Amino acid sequence: MTMQQLLTEKIVSRTAEVGVIGLGYVGLPLAVEFANAGFPVTGIDVQSSKVDKLNAGCSYVSDVPSNAVQRHLTSGRFRATTDFSSLATIDTVNIAVPTPLRKTKDPDMSYVVAAAEQVAAHIHPGMLVILESTTYPGTTEELLLPMFEKNGLKAGEDFFLCFSPERVDPGNPTYQTVNIPKVVGGVTAACTEIGSLFYSQALQKVVPVSSTGVAEMVKLLENTFRMINIGLVNEMALMCDSMGINVWEVIDAAATKPFGFMPFYPGPGLGGHCIPIDPFYLSWKTKQSGIEARFIELAGYINSHMPHFVVDKVQNALNDQSKPLRGSHVHVLGVAYKRDIDDVRESPALDVIHLLRKRGARVTFSDPYVHSIRVNGGDSIESSEETLRRDADCVVIVTDHAIFDYDGLVREARLIVDTRNALSGRNSPKIVRL
């Protein structure tokens, strides 16, 4: 029996031992889906606090209910550990560790390399390894494959290696890990085949592609598409502002066109672990072939300007009331990078707060999902009562959480700068829109 046949049997009978390295926003939901499908799952993370929480039946990812973790702990289908030696008996392993940027906007591959070194130390015949972390095209074949083949095992025969981009959208109630189509590409046809078979046991739709490079590029196309269209619409917002035109009304009317237009919305800047970061993985890689990713650089420039534009708006709105920004109390409503989630990674709210403070404003914030933040590596600021909106000279809506009482806000606040059109349909001279 070949290794492929052996692993196929284990996968189809759901006796394959599944491992997930990195139990964050991506890895934990994935681990739970495979446990839901009946596989025994071991989650491995370097943070013992996360591992302890999970083993105590407590989820820290809002899309994963604690009772799902508890159910799988009780049935024995899930356990978490910091011990990588478990990889020795694991049949499949998904790597979902962070891929941030360095300060220079170059990829920081240190987490992927550290996880891959652990896999390389325990790789054995019949193992399937799938990288899910977003990365530059070529990572799986150029970086991982040599690490895994260095002791003589051959990909596609002895072990199997794929890339499958993670497309999870935290906080999205309609699309979650289980029903987001899963693209998968292997370093050989056999790798793609077994990777597709594996995902099809737990997820609703699998989309095989011809190589790991294609699979890596799919994710970068998706995120670059969003980043550039957001950059375009942010630039439209700047243009509309200069002409006294309501950009939100323009977009809504344009979106009535039944073909050839897809609405994107302006805002205070990009946030999250994907859209502001991933396109720079692509531009870094293409630079090596002498191709400049001009759309990416331009959209990055416009998007990173938006927090400055928001702060100018606050300053102008206060000045119109004969108040200087310096010494004024500005309350930031919402600091998560998007609505109804608790994630502040790369959130534009952090830049807005930093810039407001730099210009001398006294800044407070409230966010029901975020208790404290650290701005520009400085002191930690605690979330204050939402009722501070009454005392503030200006409230800036940076994140439009559904839970906020917008009618109360319009009633009580003295001045509101709305960067998300959260107050759509409400008219008041105290509302200033982006």
Where along the sequence are the contacts to ligand NAD (CB under 6 A)?
21-27, 44-47, 50, 96-99, 111, 114-115, 133-134, 166-168, 170, 273-274
Distance CA 420, CA 397 (A): 7
Sequence-separated (6 or more) residues with CB below 8 Å from residue 431:
410, 416, 418, 423
Which helix or strand (DSSP H or E) is residue 117 part of?
helix 110-122
CA distance 80 to 37: 18
Distance of closest approach, residue 304 Cβ to ligand NAD, in angstroms: 19
Closest CA to 415 of 320, 326, 350, 336: 320
**How many whole angstroms from its chain centre is CA 137?**
19
* From 162, 191, 240, 274, active-site residue: 274
DSSP per residue, 25-87: TTHHHHHHHHHHTT--EEEE-S-HHHHHHHHTT---STTS-HHHHHHHHHHTSEEEES-GGGG
Angle between helices 66-75 and 27-36 (to 10 degrees): 50
Within 321-399, where are the H helices? 348-358
Q: Closer CB to ligand NAD, residue 4 or residue 133? A: 133
Q: How many CB atoms lie within 10 A of CB 133?
A: 23
Nearest to 360 by CA among 327, 402, 316: 327
| Closer to ligand NAD by Cβ: residue 41 or 247 | 41
Q: How far is the CB of 28 from ligand NAD (least distance, A)?
A: 8
* Smallest gap from residue 386 Cβ to ligand NAD (A): 26
**274 catalytic per annotation:** yes
> Ramachandran region of residue 33, left (φ > 0), alpha (ψ -120 to 50) or beta?
alpha
Of 24 and 138, which has the nearer Cβ to ligand NAD?
24
Contact present, 218 and 403 (Cβ < 8 Å)? no
Closest CA to 19 of 82, 94, 69, 78: 94
Residue 420 is given by DSSP the state: S
Shortest spacing between CB 335 and ligand NAD, in angstroms: 17
Least spacing, CB of residue 39 vs ligand NAD, in Å: 19
Nearest CB to ligand NAD, comparing residues 116 and 423? 116
CA-to-CA distance for 163 and 133, rounded, in angstroms? 9
Min CB(21)–ligand NAD separation in Å: 5
User: What is the closest distance, in whole angstroms, from the C-beta atom of residue 107 to ligand NAD in the complex?
Assistant: 10
* Residue number with the smallest Cβ distance to ligand NAD: 24
The smaller minimum CB distance to ligand NAD, of residues 27 and 126, is found at: 27
What residues does 364 pair with on adjacent strands?
A: 331
Find out whether 387 and 324 touch, Cβ atoms under 8 Å: no
Supply the residues annotated as catalytic: 274
